[in-house]
Structure 1
Amino acid sequence: MEKGRVEAFSDGVIAVIITIMVLELKPPHAADWDALLENGHIFLSYVLSFVYVGLYWNNHHHLFASCRHVSGRVLWANLHFLFWLSLLPFATAWLNEAQPLPAPLPTAAYGFVLLMAALAWLPLGRALIAANGGAQGKLAKAIGARVDGKTVLSLALYLGAVVLAVFVPILSCVVYAVVAALWFIPDRRIENGLSGQ
């Protein structure tokens, strides 16, 4: 199967996710700086969620650009990933319900959604490798058969932050931002592997 429809569908879902998140932003009821700053935490959570969606969109593009074909397994793995990513607007909105500081359960739920999206990314990569030459294909040689250290660290930080949310929710939010910062530097394995570097 060709990959174009999967990419177009995924781009559409990601665009809807961003649209839903931005529609959750409500303008202040007063026309002064205090009213604007009062909802600053809501804007910050939107920025963090937008960055996560942007990171996944960018990496999704790179992953699919390195492939020519998709399989039924890829379709299901991609839907599994998009399912978890599509819960980010809900998790972001719930995180914003507690004011002025985040509450334990919504903060843990936000982290759980991030953790599950990250975990869902792994079978998507494996399915794409299988559909494009297996262990001997270009994608497999580019990203390797094992999970890289940055991914393992990210998963551990997500898990730790979900547990930490019960005790210090604001610190969990800092950890979520740190993980996003880790991925802000793009994973160059695909580009380097496919260009022969």
Structure 2
Amino acid sequence: MNKERLAAFTDAVLAIIMTILVLELEKPKEVSLAGLWDLRANFFAYTLSFFWLGLMWATHHSHWQKVEKVSEKTVYTSLLMLFLASLFPYTTSLVASDFHNALAQAMYGIVILGISFSNMAISKSLKAINPDTHFGLLYNLTNRSIFIDLGIKAVGLIVSITVYPPAMVYAILIAMIVVGIDTVVHGEG
């Protein structure tokens, strides 16, 4: 498959998913500041999901130009990543509607971790067919930021299931910030 065709398909699916996220936002019972404040968990879950997907898309986009070839394995791992990403509106709405529910938070975290692992599989398949290319943050399996990110998310999932359900969304937010800082400080990306 042509790399541009795969990139365009990925862009289109992610754009649709990000659009569906906003459609899932609950409307306030009363249009007032108090009514909007009551939906703060809704807005937080939406914002976190939107920016997490947006940052993933931006990283894909900025490093995709370095890709010379894609393999069939890259196509299938990309489909897996998009399938998992398509669950974002659903899991985001579960978290938004019951922010302190451990199962909702766990499902959200499992989707996030699944996407992270599928991005690692995409990386591995791209590196196999483009061995001399450095892909930056998303595609560099030796990048310490990836393991920091996965570690924070894994701890968030465990804490979410066992002690404090909202730990998952907070772990994702913290991971985004820490990885961003780590990338700037260490110049990986």
Same fold (TM over 0.5): yes
Runs of 4+ in structure 1 over 3 Å off = 142-146, 183-190
Paired position in structure 1 for 2:20 = 20
How many angstroms apart in 1 are the aligned matches of 2:150 and 2:114?
9
Instruction: Note closer, same or farther for the CA distance 1:28–1:76 as it changes in structure 2 (3 Å cut).
Output: same
- 8 Å contact from structure 1 (residues 2, 68) kept in 2: no
Instruction: Note closer, same or farther for the CA distance 1:116–1:75 as it changes in structure 2 (3 Å cut).
Output: same
Give 3-state SS (helix, strand or coil) of 1:169's partner.
coil
How many angstroms apart in 1 are the aligned matches of 2:66 and 2:20?
29
Give the unaligned 5+ runs of structure 2: none
Shift of residue 138, structure 1, vs aligned partner = 2.3
Instruction: Say whether 1:179 aligns with 2:179.
Output: no
How many angstroms apart in 2 are the aligned matches of 1:145 and 1:29?
46
TM-score normalised by L of structure 1 = 0.85
Greater Rg over alpha carbons, structure? 1
Paired position in structure 1 for 2:149 = 154
TM-score normalised by L of structure 2 = 0.88
Shift of residue 176, structure 1, vs aligned partner = 1.5
Paired position in structure 2 for 1:165 = 160
Instruction: Note closer, same or farther for the CA distance 1:53–1:169 as it changes in structure 2 (3 Å cut).
Output: same
Give 3-state SS (helix, strand or coil) of 2:97's partner.
coil
Instruction: Note closer, same or farther for the CA distance 1:16–1:122 as it changes in structure 2 (3 Å cut).
Output: same
Percent identical pairs in the alignment equals 26
**Equivalences, count:** 184
Instruction: Say whether 1:84 aligns with 2:80.
Output: no
Paired position in structure 1 for 2:9 = 9
Across the aligned residues of Structure 1 and Structure 2, the Cα RMSD in angstroms comes to 2.1
Give 1:33-182 correspondences, 5 Å limit.
Answer: 33-98=33-98, 101-132=99-130, 134=131, 137-139=132-134, 146-166=141-161, 167-182=163-178
